[in-house]
Amino acid sequence: MHSLTKTFLYYMLIASVTLALNVTSAHAFEDRGNIVFNQMLKCLKLPADAPCAYNFMVVAVIKDGSADFLSINFRTPPSEWEKTAAPLIADAITQCEPYSSTSGRMEFAVTRELVEAGSKN
Counting Cα atoms < 13 Å in the Cβ hemisphere of 118 gives 18
DSSP code of residue 76: S
pLDDT digits over 64-106, tens only?
A: 888 888 999 988 899 999 999 999 999 999 998 887 777 889 8
37, 110 in Cβ contact below 8 A?
yes
Angle between helices 112-120 and 2-41 (to 10 degrees): 70
Predicted pLDDT of residue 65? 85
| Phi/psi of residue 78, nearest 5 degrees | -75, 145
